[in-house]
Amino acid sequence: MAKADFAVPVLKQYPEIPAIEPGVMAHSAPFKSKEEFQAPLGFPGQLVDDWQQKALDKMGDLLGRYRGLRVYLDSCVKCGSCTDKCHYYLGTHDPKNMPVGRQDLMRKVYRRYFTLAGKFFPKLVGAEDFTEEVLSDWYSYFHQCSQCRRCSVFCPYGIDTAEISMAAREIMDHIGVGQKYCNEIIAKVYRIGNNLGLPGPALADTLEGLEEDVFDDTGVEVKYPLDQEGVDILFVTPSADFFAEPHVDGLIGYGKVMHEAGVSWTFSSYASEAANFGMFIGSYDNMRRVALRIREAAIKLGVKRIVFGECGHAWRVAYSFLNTLAGPWDFLDPRYPVPQHICEFTYDLMQQGKLNFDKSLNDDMVLTYHDSCNVARASRMGDRPGGQFDIPRAIIRATCNNFYDMDEDTIRDRTFCCGGGGGLLTDDLMEIRVKGAQPRVEALNNVIQEKGVTHMAAICAICKSQFTKVLPYYGMDMDQIVSVHQLVSNALILTGQTSDEDAEETADEAA
């Protein structure tokens, strides 16, 4: 079990709504960004003079540009429906982690400076001056929101705390109070092409190694091309897929699926990152700059289609925003959606009967599936609403014999975030990550106890990294989290693949 200098929540059989404990997470705040990480994004390097006025100016600017922000700040009636829905509240008991509690950190400033009632009767309507204490609360609690949108499902007006967190981070960035983790990473994308800072030669080396591994395993020459011009498909995937377990097992699966589909495809070293942290910091400009790299790569490589690998927030930006940020995509093949998710791609091939699976190859696992928050509540797959739930499950059922869903209240559009989304996947926020994972891990623990589940599959790089790190705090193993395309990779029998028996026979003959 991993060691913690804070109390790891106890897993219960039935979920409990905790009593509020005000202020218990006020100490949790990520490392602040520095000049060198702020400047490439166009933000001041440290707290600016006259920060209060500049912050209010920025808030006014955003209120005029984002209808959602204005409507959400006006509409809340404090009914309480959201109060027990956030995983960070359930895991920490801090009422400022209730969605409405978090929103009110901004709403009280909005009311004070932008509404009649708050200007004349601040005490009455809970309006407050934008003081240094309020700014400190903002920095702390707007970095305890993973922008998972679970609150927006249960709000009678659809108020989405993610939108408010994003706006708050954008305002803070503009007065020089940035978060190191996100801003350093975005700068790395501009400089190198991906979040992990893996340069082209390192990617080429990794992919070459994978080709050898797959050939050794299967006897089939599956290719993992990089920067190949004139191919059909540009494949964009989170850089973690090139780097770590269990991500890379999923990437092996993508290549096998592409191979069986018989299409030509390539990764790009210039757009070697699916994730777009510009969204986390609420910066349209930076989100657009990151997204445009994909457009540039698609044009340069002359591809006809774009497919995205397994990544949650990335799929939100890809599915919901890419057309807005980097479109129009009129130079691509109009017969395919832009972009496509690898799960949609694999599912289509399954429908055409092009994939030959031996499910028993995954018999060493009993699986459950974690709906990643941004895939579930901010995107879609296929042509019907809810395809984002059904398609990945259809793939798992086609590749595995043993599959059980977790409790209905914790899956599909009611899924809990892993606890590490929205720019919180950094070691300086370990406490909130572990505590925020509690509702998901609790539901997982229950299917482990009741159904004998051994592994949880996911289609998000953040989820995979987060669970790898966090499950040990709850006494589970880090390798209990797997990629969906890892299951595909395990069960897929490639055309012309030598089975184990064939290989043994050949070995016998050779002997």
Q: Which is nearer to other proteins, 318 or 366 (CB)?
A: 318
- Of 259-278, binders to other proteins (CB under 8 A) are none
Considering the complex, what minimum distance in angstroms separates the CB of residue 124 from other proteins? Answer: 5
323 to 362: interface string for other proteins, x by CB under 8 A: xx--xx--------xxx-----------------------
What H or E segment, with its residue span, contains residue 308? strand 305-308
Binding segment for other proteins among 66-74, 173-181, 234-242, 445-453 (CB under 8 A)?
66-74
Bond prior to 95 in cis (omega within 30° of 0): no
| Residue 398 interacting with other proteins (CB under 8 A) | no
What H or E segment, with its residue span, contains residue 256? helix 247-261
Q: Residue 497 gets which letter from DSSP?
A: P
| Residue 407 interacting with other proteins (CB under 8 A) | no
Q: Which is nearer to other proteins, 346 or 426 (CB)?
A: 346
The answer to whether the beta carbons of residues 259 and 223 sit under 8 Å apart is yes
| Residue 58 interacting with other proteins (CB under 8 A) | no
Distance from chain centroid for Cα 209: 27
Binding segment for other proteins among 27-35, 81-89, 395-403, 428-436 (CB under 8 A)?
81-89
From candidates 59, 342, 376, 447, binder to other proteins by CB under 8 A: 376
Minimal CA–CA distance to 110: which of 84, 75, 143, 150?
Answer: 75
Count CB neighbours of 239 within 10 A.
25
Considering the complex, what minimum distance in angstroms separates the CB of residue 446 from other proteins? Answer: 21
Q: Sort 85 into a burial class: Cβ within 10 Å, 0-12 / 13-18 / 19+.
A: buried
From candidates 201, 209, 230, 386, binder to other proteins by CB under 8 A: 386
- Of 157-176, binders to other proteins (CB under 8 A) are 157-160, 163
C-alpha span between 212 and 495 (Å, rounded): 17
Which residues, in sequence order, are CB contacts of 227 under 8 Å at separation 6+? 200, 266, 267, 268, 269, 270, 301
Q: Identify the three-state secondary structure at position 167.
A: helix
- Of 176-205, binders to other proteins (CB under 8 A) are none
| Residue 152 interacting with other proteins (CB under 8 A) | yes
**415: its two tokens:** 């899924």
| Residue 368 interacting with other proteins (CB under 8 A) | no
- Of 108-127, binders to other proteins (CB under 8 A) are 115-117, 121, 123-126
Q: Which is nearer to other proteins, 39 or 76 (CB)?
A: 76
From candidates 25, 41, 55, 82, binder to other proteins by CB under 8 A: 82
Q: Residue 238 gets which letter from DSSP?
A: -
| Residue 454 interacting with other proteins (CB under 8 A) | no
User: Tokens 């229950």 — which residue?
Assistant: 446
Considering the complex, what minimum distance in angstroms separates the CB of residue 72 from other proteins? Answer: 7
- Of 12-31, binders to other proteins (CB under 8 A) are 17, 19-20, 22
Considering the complex, what minimum distance in angstroms separates the CB of residue 327 from other proteins? Answer: 5
| Residue 459 interacting with other proteins (CB under 8 A) | no
**262: its two tokens:** 């018989």
- The three-state DSSP-derived secondary structure of 312-357 is HHHHHHHHHHHHHHHCCCCCCCCCCCCCEEHHHHHHHHHHCCCCCE
| Residue 57 interacting with other proteins (CB under 8 A) | no
Considering the complex, what minimum distance in angstroms separates the CB of residue 328 from other proteins? Answer: 5
Minimal CA–CA distance to 149: which of 312, 342, 25, 370?
Answer: 312
Minimal CA–CA distance to 459: which of 362, 402, 379?
Answer: 379
Q: Which is nearer to other proteins, 280 or 357 (CB)?
A: 280
| Residue 214 interacting with other proteins (CB under 8 A) | no
